[in-house]
Amino acid sequence: MTDASELRRRTREFLAAHPPAATGRLDFLRARFDAGLAWVHFPEGLGGLGAPRALQAVVDAELEAAGAPDNDPRRIGIGLGMAAPTILQYGTEEQKRRFLKPLWTGEEVWCQLFSEPGAGSDLAALGTRAVREGDDWVVNGQKVWTSSAHVARWAILIARTDPDVPKHKGITYFLCDMTDPGVEVRPLRQITGEAEFNEVFLTDVRIPDSHRLGEVGDGWRVAQTTLNNERVAIGGMRLPREGGMIGPVSRTWRERPELRTHELHQRLLKLWVDAEVARLTGERLRQQLVAGQPGPEGAGMKLGFARLNQEISGLEVELLGAEGLLYDDWTMRRPEKVDFTGREAGYRYLRAKGNSIEGGTSEVLLNIVAERVLGLPAEPRTDKDVAWKDLAR
Amino acid sequence: MSTQPDLLYSEEEEALRGAVRDLLTDHCDAAGVLARAETDTPHDLSLWKALADGMGLAGLLVPEDRGGQGATHREAAVVLEELGRAVAPVPYLTSAVVATEALLACDGDTVGQELLGDLASARKTGALAVGLHTAAGGAFTSVRAENGTLSGTVTGVADAAVADVLLVPADDGGLYAVDADAAAITPQTSLDLTRPLAEVRLDAAPGRRIGDAGPAVRRALRAGAGLLASEQLGLADWTLTETVRYLKDRKQFNRPVGGFQALKHRLARLWLEVVNLRAAARAAADALATGADTDVSVAVAQAYAAPAAVHAAEEALQLHGGIGMTWEHPVHLYLKRAKADSIAYGTAGAHREALAELVDLRAP
We report the CATH number of the domain holding residue B333 as 1.20.140.10
The single-letter DSSP state of residue A386 is S
B33 and B107 co-located in one domain: yes
Q: Which residue in B265, B361, B362 is closest to A366 by CB distance?
A: B265
Q: Sort residue A292 into left (φ over 0), alpha (ψ -120 to 50) or beta.
A: left
- Comparing CB atoms, the residue among A265, A373, A374 nearest residue B363 is A265
**Cβ of residue B307 closer than 8 Å to a chain A Cβ:** no
Tell whether B279 is within 8 A of chain A (Cβ).
Answer: yes
**Interface membership of B275 toward A (CB under 8 Å):** yes
Domain count, chain B: 3
In chain B the first and final C-alpha atoms are separated, in Å, by 27
Domain C-terminal end among A164, A189, A217: A217
Cβ distance A283 to B364 less than 8 Å, yes or no, reads no
Verify that B312 and B183 share a domain, yes or no: no
Considering CB atoms only, which of B265, B267, B355 is closest to A273?
B355
Report the half-sphere exposure of B207 (CA within 13 A, side-chain side).
32
For residues A121 and A153, membership in a common domain is answered with yes
Kindly state whether residues A126 and A171 are assigned to the same domain: yes
Number of neighbouring beta carbons within 10 Å of residue B33:
20
Query: For residue A13, is it within any domain?
Result: yes
Residue pair B203/B184 in contact by the 8 Å Cβ criterion: yes
* Number of domains observed in the structure of chain A: 3
Substitution target from A280, A290, A362, A372 for chain B, most B beta carbons within 10 A: A280
Contacts of B256 in chain A (CB under 8 A): 376-377
Out of B180, B212, B244, pick the residue that ends a domain.
B212
Decide which of B94, B124, B154 is a domain's last residue. Answer: B124
> What pLDDT shows up at residue A234?
47
Residue B350 lies in a domain: yes
Query: Which residues, in sequence order, are CB contacts of B214 under 8 Å at separation 6+?
Result: B173
Please indicate, yes or no, if residue A387 is contained in any of the structural domains. Answer: no
Largest CA distance in chain A: 71
- The catalytic residues of A are 230
Q: Is A228 exposed, middle or buried (0-12, 13-18, 19+ CB in 10 A)?
A: middle
**B45-63 confidence digits (pLDDT tens):** 999 999 999 999 999 999 9
Q: Are residues A209 and A256 in the same domain?
A: no
Cα distance between residue B294 and residue B74, in whole Å: 13
Q: Angle at Cα A102 formed by Cα A97 and Cα A106, nearest 5°?
A: 155
Same domain, yes or no: B249 and B191: no
* A287 to B6: CB separation less than 8 angstroms, yes or no: yes
- B276/A277 Cβ within 8 A: yes
For residues B120 and B190, membership in a common domain is answered with no
3-state helix, strand, coil in chain B (%, to 5): 55, 15, 30
**3-state SS class at A120:** coil
- Chain B residues with CB-CB distance to A257 below 8 A: 362, 364
Task: Name the phi and psi angles at A278, rounded to 5.
Answer: -65, -40
- Kindly state whether B256 is in contact with chain A, defined as any CB-CB distance less than 8 angstroms: yes
Do B32 and B165 lie in one domain? The reply is no
In a domain, A101, yes or no: no
* Boundaries of domain holding B208: 127-212
- Minimum Cα–Cα distance from A373: chain B residue: B268
Beta bridge partners of B158: B197
B356 touching chain A per CB within 8 A: yes
The whole-number pLDDT of residue A232 equals: 57
Does residue B277 form part of some domain?
Answer: yes
How far apart (Å, rounded) are the C-alpha atoms in residues A301 and A280?
11
Q: Is the Cβ pair B264, A367 closer than 8 Å?
A: yes
Mean pLDDT by 10 residues, chain A (393 residues): 85 96 95 96 95 85 93 91 94 98 97 95 96 98 95 98 97 98 97 94 98 97 84 60 95 98 98 97 85 74 93 98 96 84 92 91 93 94 92 88
Alpha-carbon distance of B173 to B144, in angstroms, equals 10
Say if A224 falls within a structural domain. no
Q: What is the pLDDT of residue A228?
A: 76
Is there a contact between A369 and B271 if contact means CB atoms under 8 Å apart? yes
The parent domain of residue A306 ranges over: 236-360
Q: Is A182 helix (H, G, I), strand (E, B) or coil?
A: coil
Q: Which class for B314: exposed (0-12), middle (13-18), buried (19 or more C-beta within 10 A)?
A: middle
| Rounded-to-integer distance, Cα B298 and Cα B296, Å | 6
Question: Which residues from B are below 8 Å from A375, CB to CB?
Answer: 244, 248
**Which residues does chain B have with pLDDT short of 70?**
1-3
Instruction: Report yes or no on B80 lying in a domain.
Output: yes
| pLDDT reported for residue A235 | 45
Put simply, whether B262 touches A (Cβ < 8 Å) is: no
Considering Cα of B152, then B158, then B163, then B167, what sign does the dihedral take?
negative
Task: Tell me the nearest-neighbour CA distance from B112 into chain A, angstroms.
Answer: 37
| B281 neighbors B232 (Cβ within 8 angstroms) | yes
- Regarding whether A321 and A242 lie in a shared domain, the answer is yes
Q: What are phi and psi of A43, to 5 degrees?
A: -70, 160
Number of inter-chain CB pairs under 8 A, A vs B: 127
End-of-domain residue from the set B104, B124, B144: B124
> CA-to-CA distance for A307 and A303, rounded, in angstroms?
6
In this structure, the answer to whether residues B153 and B134 fall within a common structural domain is yes
Which strand (E) or helix (H) includes residue B38?
none
CATH code for the domain of A242: 1.20.140
Would you give the distance in Å from CA A19 to the centre of its chain?
31
Whose CA is closest to B156, among B125, B197, B210? Answer: B197
Residue B5: inside a domain: no
Q: Determine the Cα angle at B110 with ends B107 and B115, to 5°.
A: 85
Residue B363: inside a domain? no
On whether any CB of chain A is under 8 Å from the CB of B326, the answer is no
Tell me the per-residue pLDDT of A284-303, one tens digit each, with 9 for 90 and over. 988 887 777 767 777 788 89
- Asked, for residue A375, whether it belongs to a domain, the answer is no
Q: What is the CATH number of the domain that holds B112?
A: 1.10.540.10
Work out the minimum CA distance from B160 to partner chain A, whole angstroms. 33
Nearest by CB to A260, from B244, B256, B364: name it: B364
CA atoms of B87 and B234, how far apart (whole Å):
9
Cα angle B144-B150-B155, degrees, rounded to a multiple of 5: 75
Same domain, B203 and B256: no
**Distance from B23 to chain A by nearest Cα, in Å?**
26
Question: What pLDDT is attached to residue B1?
Answer: 39
DSSP H helix total and E strand total for chain A: 12, 8
Please check whether residues B15 and B91 belong to one and the same domain: yes
Q: Is A41 helix (H, G, I), strand (E, B) or coil?
A: coil
Residues A240 and A356 in one domain: yes
Query: How is residue A42 annotated by DSSP?
Result: S
Task: Answer whether B198's CB lies under 8 Å from B160's CB.
Answer: yes
Please indicate, yes or no, whether residues A195 and A152 belong to a single structural domain of this protein.
Answer: yes
For testing contact with chain B, the best of A277, A289, A319 (most B CBs within 10 A): A277
Identify the closest residue of chain B to A268 by CA–CA distance.
Answer: B361
Contact A173, A158 (CB under 8 A): yes
Residue B7 to residues A13, A288, A323, A374, B312, Cα–Cα distance (Å): 34, 9, 41, 22, 22
Amino acid at B329: H
Pairwise CA distance, residues A256 & A247, whole Å: 14
Query: Is there a domain that residue A386 lies in?
Result: no
Residue B38 phi, psi (nearest 5): -95, 0
CA distance B332 to chain A (A): 23
Q: Measured between alpha carbons, how far is A300 from B277 in angstroms, rounded to an integer? A: 13
Encoded amino acid at B300, one letter:
V
CA–CA–CA angle B287, B293, B294 (5° rounding)? 55
- A-chain residues near B303 (CB < 8 A): 269-270, 273
Q: How far apart are CA A253 and CA A171, in angstroms?
A: 51
Q: Is B280 on the interface with A (CB under 8 A)?
A: yes
- Given CA atoms B61, B63, B64, B65 in this order, what sign does their dihedral have? negative
Chain A hits for B258, CB-CB cut-off 8 Å, are 376-377
Q: Are residues B348 and B222 in the same domain?
A: yes
Same domain, B280 and B329: yes
B336 and B228 belong to one structural domain: yes
Q: Is residue A273 part of a domain?
A: yes
CA-based nearest residue to A40, from A74, A72, A1: A1
3-class SS at A176? strand
Q: Residue B154 domain-assigned?
A: yes
Nearest residue of A to residue B3, measured between CA atoms? A240
Rg (CA), chain B: 20
Comparing CB atoms, the residue among A262, A303, A366 nearest residue B363 is A262
- Please check whether residue B6 lies inside any domain of the structure: no
Residue B327 burial by CB count (10 A; 0-12/13-18/19+): exposed, middle or buried?
exposed
Please check whether residues B175 and B237 belong to one and the same domain.
Answer: no
A61: CB partners within 8 A, 6+ apart? none
The pLDDT value given to residue A231: 57
- What residues in A contact B359, CB-CB < 8 Å? 250, 272
- Chain A residues with CB under 8 Å of B363 CB are 260, 262, 265
Q: Are A331 and A286 in the same domain?
A: yes
Judge: B8–A284 Cβ closer than 8 Å, yes or no.
Answer: yes
Q: What is the pLDDT of residue A230?
A: 65
Helix (H, G, I), strand (E, B) or coil at B172: coil
Residue A324 shares a structural domain with residue A258: yes
Closest C-alpha to A266, from B149, B349, B315, B239: B349
Q: Return the SS3 of A151.
A: coil
Q: Is B279 helix (H, G, I), strand (E, B) or coil?
A: helix
Of A253, A304, A378, the CB nearest to B272: A304
Is residue A223 domain-resident? Answer: no
For residue B158, the domain's CATH number is: 2.40.110.10
